[in-house]
């Protein structure tokens, strides 16, 4: 388990894996000011990395001439170049309307690169989801490969990488069918992190467990009930599956208006959760989460005993680490079953492929 990025402690919202628009977008994008004649798109996944790849599209020669007025890179050439006064890397000019910048992949480098490009009137596309991937990735062998290359740039979980890389071959040999729809929707959780919400009574051990899962202190822990007065969220890698992990305030009746509001926010989170983890300490009842939990976990397993109102799916101890790997495995399996990862059938991994499938298989036939 490793933490990937902190999230806001209040009103944090995980991205919707089905929110990408699927209409074709012409160049230049209509929602951008048409002043730049050349645009840059980050083509490697967002986040820290050794090397980043930034695609330049449009009038690439004009853009490169502004970036390197003394000696612009030529078409067909691969050259070592400085990026402003902060980094160096490789510039590859593929055609008159396509080039690639390859700086180091640190977050600070990318931010400075964006500012440097902006100074030289090279526009930056934060979201290229509306662009046709077959135009964005002309090197792709077919449309499925182009779609997969686009998905790779935004995939949150490393488990998505081998699946996306094999989709072109799979689609060539195995056409998708209705049986692939539900599995494909689950697999989309590899592209945009799903929500895992931990609920329990005060002092059930939610914050202590969350701190262990993240490997850092994300919430204050105390023997005093009601210490967590708001939900806290962070993005964490659960052995290859990145999730948005929410630690919520203890569910209980209270006269404190601030705590009551926080508990209502927690209930709203529970309603939208992909997985609800219910936590109970030995001798206590399972929390009333408003809907059946997906996983029941007994905390403080080193103390012995059992929950008062029914068996647990697994037992953990934040103090000794007992049961933590089992909990991680169960959360992963609930979100993306191992059978989905091992399937050799097509993955309908974006809205365009879904729309194409539905067009060819009306809802009555596809059971969509």
Assign 3-class secondary structure to the chain.
Answer: CEEEEECCCCCCCCCCCCCCCCCCCCCCCCCCCCCCCEEEEECCCCCCCCECCEEEEECHHHHHHHHCCCCCCCCCCEEEEEECCCEEEEEEEEECCEEEEECECCHHHHHHHHHHHHHCCCEEECCCCCCCHHHHCCCCCCHHHHHHHHHHCCCCCCCHHHHHHCHHHHHHHCCCCCCHHHHHHHHHHHCCCCEEEEEECCCCCHHHHHHHHHCCCCCCCCCCCCCCCCCEEEEEEECCEEEEEEECCCCCCCCCHHHHHHHHHHHHHHHHCCEEEEEECCCCCCCCCCCCCCEEEECCHHHCCCCCCCCCCEECCCCCCCCHHHHHHHHHHHHCCHHHHHCCCCCCCCHHHHHHHHHHCCHHHHCC
- Report which of residues 310 and 14 the model is more confident about: 310
For residue 266, which of 296, 238, 300, 226 has the smallest C-alpha distance? 226
Quick one: pLDDT at residue 128?
A: 67
The total number of residues shown for the chain amounts to: 368
Same domain for 249 and 350?
no
Same domain for 281 and 355?
no
The pLDDT tens digits for 281-323 are 888 888 887 889 999 999 888 888 887 778 999 999 988 999 9
Q: What average pLDDT score do residues 34-49 get?
A: 80
User: β-pairing, 2-6 with 232-238?
Assistant: antiparallel
Last residue in a domain, options 131, 146, 163? 131
Residue with tokens 């290229």: 128
**pLDDT over threshold 50, residue 220:** no
CB-based contacts of 152, cutoff 8 Å, min separation 6: 45, 160, 161, 164, 165
Q: How confident is the model at residue 216 (pLDDT cuts 50, 70, 90)?
A: low
Full residue range of the structural domain in which residue 79 is found: 26-131
Q: How confident is the model at residue 21 (pLDDT cuts 50, 70, 90)?
A: very low
Lowest mean pLDDT among 193-197, 215-219, 264-268: 215-219
Cα–Cα distance for residue pair 273/197, rounded to 1 Å: 6
The pLDDT tens digits for 42-58 are 888 777 789 999 999 99
Same domain for 174 and 216?
no
Task: Name the average pLDDT for the chain.
Answer: 82
Residue 293 sits in a domain whose CATH number is: 3.40.50.300
Same domain for 127 and 148?
no
Lowest mean pLDDT among 129-133, 236-240, 248-252: 248-252
For residue 107, which of 82, 87, 122 has the smallest C-alpha distance? 87
CB-based contacts of 319, cutoff 8 Å, min separation 6: 300, 302
Q: What average pLDDT score do residues 338-350 get?
A: 97
Same domain for 287 and 325?
yes
**pLDDT over threshold 50, residue 222:** no
Same domain for 352 and 223?
no
Same domain for 205 and 305?
yes
Same domain for 223 and 99?
no
Same domain for 278 and 213?
yes
Q: How far apart are the first and last CA of the chain?
A: 35
Same domain for 328 and 209?
yes
Q: What average pLDDT score do residues 118-126 get?
A: 91
Quick one: pLDDT at residue 162?
A: 96
Last residue in a domain, options 115, 131, 147? 131
Within a domain: 188 = no
Within a domain: 6 = no
Q: How confident is the model at residue 133 (pLDDT cuts 50, 70, 90)?
A: confident
Same domain for 93 and 149?
no
Residue 113 sits in a domain whose CATH number is: 3.30.1360.120
* Domains: count for the chain: 3
Residue with tokens 């388990």: 1
Residue with tokens 């539905």: 358
């Amino acid at each position: 388990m490793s933490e990937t990025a902190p999230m806001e402690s209040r009103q944090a919202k995980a991205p919707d894996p089905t929110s990408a628009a699927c209409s074709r977008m012409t160049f230049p994008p209509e929602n951008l000011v048409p002043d730049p004649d050349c645009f840059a798109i980050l083509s490697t996944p967002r986040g820290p990395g050794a090397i980043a790849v930034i695609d330049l599209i449009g009038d690439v020669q004009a853009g490169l001439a502004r970036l390197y007025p003394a000696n612009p890179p030529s078409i067909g050439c691969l050259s070592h170049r400085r990026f402003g006064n902060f980094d160096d890397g490789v510039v590859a000019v593929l055609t008159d309307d396509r080039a690639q910048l390859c700086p180091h992949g640190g977050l600070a480098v990318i931010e400075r690169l964006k500012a440097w490009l902006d100074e030289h009137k090279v526009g930056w596309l934060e979201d290229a989801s509306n662009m046709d991937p077959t135009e964005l990735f002309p090197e792709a062998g077919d449309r499925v490969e182009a779609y997969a290359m686009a998905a790779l740039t935004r995939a949150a979980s490393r488990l998505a990488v081998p699946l996306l890389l094999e989709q072109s071959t799979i689609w060539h040999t195995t056409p998708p069918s209705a049986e692939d729809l539900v599995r494909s929707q689950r697999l989309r959780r590899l592209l945009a992190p799903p929500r895992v919400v931990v609920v329990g009574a005060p002092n059930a051990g939610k914050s202590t467990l969350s701190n262990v899962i993240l490997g850092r202190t994300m919430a204050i822990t105390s023997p005093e009930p009601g210490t967590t007065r708001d939900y806290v969220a962070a993005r964490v890698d659960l052995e290859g599956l990145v999730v948005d992990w929410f630690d919520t305030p203890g569910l209980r009746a209270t006269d404190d208006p601030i705590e009551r509001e926080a508990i209502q926010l927690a209930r709203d989170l529970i309603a939208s959760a992909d997985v609800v983890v219910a936590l109970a300490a030995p001798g206590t009842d399972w929390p009333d989460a408003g809907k059946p939990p997906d996983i029941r976990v007994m905390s403080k397993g080193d103390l012995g005993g059992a929950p008062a109102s029914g068996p647990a799916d697994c037992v953990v101890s934040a103090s000794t680490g007992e049961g933590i790997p089992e909990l991680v495995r169960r959360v992963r399996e609930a979100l993306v079953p191992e059978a989905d990862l091992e399937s050799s059938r097509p993955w309908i991994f974006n809205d365009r492929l879904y729309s194409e499938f539905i067009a060819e298989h009306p809802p009555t036939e596809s059971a969509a």
